[in-house]
Structure 1
Amino acid sequence: MLDTLDRLLPSSFPAIRRGRTQTLQINLGYRCNQQCLHCHVAAGPNRSEVMSAEAIDLVIDILGRQLFTTLDLTGGAPELNPDFRRLVARAADLGVEIIDRCNLTILDEPDQEDLAAFLAEHRVRIVASLPCYLEDNVDRQRGKGVFASSIDGLKKLNALGYGNFASPLQLDLVYNPQGPTLPPAQGGLEADYRRVLQDRYGVRFNHLLALANLPIQRFGSTLLSRGEFDDYMALLKRNHKDANLDQVMCRSLISVDWQGYLYDCDFNQMLGLTLEADGKKRLHLADLSALSLLDNPIRVADHCFGCTAGQGSSCGGALSDN
Structure 2
Amino acid sequence: MSTSIGLKHCLIPALMLNSSSAALQPSPKPTPRSPHPLPLTSISPLTEQDPKRSAKPFPALNRGELETLQVNLGYRCNQSCSHCHVNAGPWRTEMMEEEHIKLIPKVLQTLKLNCLDLTGGAPELHPQFRSLVQEARDLGVQVIDRCNLTILQEPGQEDLAAFLADAGVKVVASLPCFEEERVDTQRGSGVFQRSIAGLQSLNALGYGMPNSNLELDLVFNPSGAQLPPAQGELERIYREKLLENHGIHFSRLLTITNMPIQRFAQTLKARGELEAYYALLHQAHRDNNLSAVMCRHLISVDWTGHLFDCDFNQQLGIPVRSGPRTLNELLNQSGTVNNQPIAVGAHCFGCTAGGGSSCGGALS
TM-score by length of 1: 0.96
Q: Does 1:231 align with 2:273?
A: no
Q: Secondary structure at the match of 2:242?
A: helix
Offset of 1:167 from its aligned partner?
1.1
Task: Report the RMSD for the aligned CA atoms in angstroms.
Answer: 1.4
Q: Is this contact kept in 1: 2:183–2:192, CA < 8 A? A: yes
Question: Which residue number in structure 2 is paired with residue 315 of structure 1?
Answer: 359
Question: Which residue number in structure 2 is paired with residue 65 of structure 1?
Answer: 110
Offset of 1:140 from its aligned partner?
0.6
Offset of 1:222 from its aligned partner?
1.3
1:5 to 34, 44, 47: 44
Question: Which residue number in structure 1 is paired with residue 32 of structure 2?
Answer: none
Paired with 2:112 and 2:347, the residues of 1 have a C-alpha distance of 29
Q: Does 1:255 align with 2:304?
A: no
Given residue 194 of structure 1, which amino acid in structure 2 is its aligned partner? R
Offset of 1:66 from its aligned partner?
4.4
Paired with 1:158 and 1:311, the residues of 2 have a C-alpha distance of 29
Paired with 1:141 and 1:275, the residues of 2 have a C-alpha distance of 32
Offset of 1:175 from its aligned partner?
0.0
Question: Which residue number in structure 1 is paired with residue 226 of structure 2?
Answer: 181
1:95 to 117, 140, 144: 140
Offset of 1:227 from its aligned partner?
1.0
Of residues 62-71 and 77-86 in structure 1, the stretch that sits farther from structure 2 once superposed is 62-71
Deviations 1:81-124 (A, max 9, x none): 01000100111111000000000000000000000000000000
Paired with 1:113 and 1:192, the residues of 2 have a C-alpha distance of 30
Paired with 1:307 and 1:246, the residues of 2 have a C-alpha distance of 11
Q: How does 1:1-322 map to 2 (within 5 A)?
A: 5-11=44-50, 12-278=57-323, 283-289=325-331, 290-291=333-334, 292-320=336-364
Given residue 338 of structure 2, which amino acid in structure 1 is its aligned partner? L
Q: Secondary structure at the match of 2:60?
A: coil
Total equivalences in the alignment: 316
Q: Secondary structure at the match of 1:233?
A: helix
Q: Secondary structure at the match of 1:194?
A: helix
Paired with 1:13 and 1:208, the residues of 2 have a C-alpha distance of 28
Paired with 1:146 and 1:98, the residues of 2 have a C-alpha distance of 25
Deviations 1:206-246 (A, max 9, x none): 00000000000111111112211001001000100000000
Q: Is this contact kept in 2: 1:5–1:216, CA < 8 A? A: no
Q: Is this contact kept in 2: 1:197–1:204, CA < 8 A? A: yes
Offset of 1:287 from its aligned partner?
0.4
Structure 1 residue runs of 5 or longer lacking an equivalent are none
Of residues 152-161 and 221-230 in structure 1, the stretch that sits farther from structure 2 once superposed is 221-230
TM-score by length of 2: 0.85
Deviations 1:116-165 (A, max 9, x none): 00000000000000000111110010011000000000000000000113
Q: Secondary structure at the match of 2:253?
A: strand
Structure 2 residue runs of 5 or longer lacking an equivalent are 1-16, 18-42, 51-56
Paired with 2:311 and 2:112, the residues of 1 have a C-alpha distance of 19
Paired with 1:240 and 1:301, the residues of 2 have a C-alpha distance of 13
Q: Is this contact kept in 1: 2:65–2:296, CA < 8 A? A: yes
